[in-house]
Amino acid sequence: MALSGQIPHFLCAHKTTCSGKLQEVNNSAAHSRNLRSGRCSEPNRIYFVTSTCFNRQKHFSSHTNAQILLDEFNRPRSHTNCVSLAHVVMPDHFHWLVQIDQERTLCEIVRKLKGRSARRINLARQTPARVWQPGFHDHAVRVEEDMKNLANYLIQNPLRAGLVTSVEEYPYWGSVWHKRKYLRG
């Protein structure tokens, strides 16, 4: 699969506030309070979301845990109030291209995804432990024709991280533009 590895212009270090003004993002600030500043949700908007495991623990190096998160991304729209367009599960974080509906905010959707996955992971490993870092990064996608390029960028993360030599080798991603079957263990 030939995919472009360039960073889409709309993923550069900026975020949009509710007023529509662009602000420089301080990538070293990891406080969830700062992540929520200026956040708003627009119905039917598409967002690029990133969330990290607590203390950057590699919870998703485990096939079982990665599959739990994949199952959550692939829940039907009637259960999630969103459409999952593309996602990749990395060892210590995920990226998600998602379109929200009018019933829930982006914060509610991400909170449910993280809450359900954490509960299932803790049940599977039979130990209560914190799975997710509080908060998440998001970017409202503004240019519709860039979505496939953004999905390409997203699913190439394992390749850029040196986890695989080909995107096809990595089992923990999905995209409405790139059909494939998940490997189950």
Kindly list the domain boundaries of the chain, sorted by start residue: 12-175
What kind of fold does domain 12-175 have according to CATH?
Answer: Alpha-Beta Plaits (3.30.70)
Mean pLDDT of the chain: 80
Do 31 and 155 contact (CB within 8 A), yes or no? no
Do 74 and 174 contact (CB within 8 A), yes or no? yes
Residue in the block written with tokens 């590699």:
58
| Residue 13: both structure tokens together | 């270090």
Q: 102 Cβ partners below 8 Å, 6+ apart?
A: 43, 44
Read off the DSSP letter of residue 44. Answer: T
Whether the per-residue pLDDT at 7 is higher than 70: the answer is no
| Residue 128: both structure tokens together | 């209560």
Q: 27 Cβ partners below 8 Å, 6+ apart?
A: 13
Question: Distance between CA 110 and CA 50 in Å, rounded?
Answer: 10
Q: What is residue 37's predicted lDDT score, i.e. its pLDDT? A: 53
Q: 15-19, 97-101, 106-110, 161-165: which range is least confident on average?
A: 15-19
What value does the mean pLDDT take over residues 91-112? 94
Length of the chain: 185
Q: What is residue 43's predicted lDDT score, i.e. its pLDDT? A: 86
In this predicted model, what pLDDT tens digit does every residue of 11-56 receive, in sequence order? 433 333 333 333 333 343 444 445 445 567 788 899 999 999 999 9
Residue in the block written with tokens 């301080």:
26
Q: What is residue 77's predicted lDDT score, i.e. its pLDDT? A: 79
Report the predicted TM-score, pTM, of the whole model to 2 decimal places: 0.77
Q: What is residue 133's predicted lDDT score, i.e. its pLDDT? A: 96
Q: 15-29, 77-91, 93-107: which range is least confident on average?
A: 15-29
Decide the pairing of beta strands 46-52 and 137-140. antiparallel
Q: What DSSP string describes 166-185? A: SGGG--SEEETTB-------
Other CB atoms within 10 Å distance of the CB of residue 84: 20
| Residue 127: both structure tokens together | 């130990």
Q: What is residue 154's predicted lDDT score, i.e. its pLDDT? A: 94
How far from chain centre, in Å, is Cα 86?
A: 8
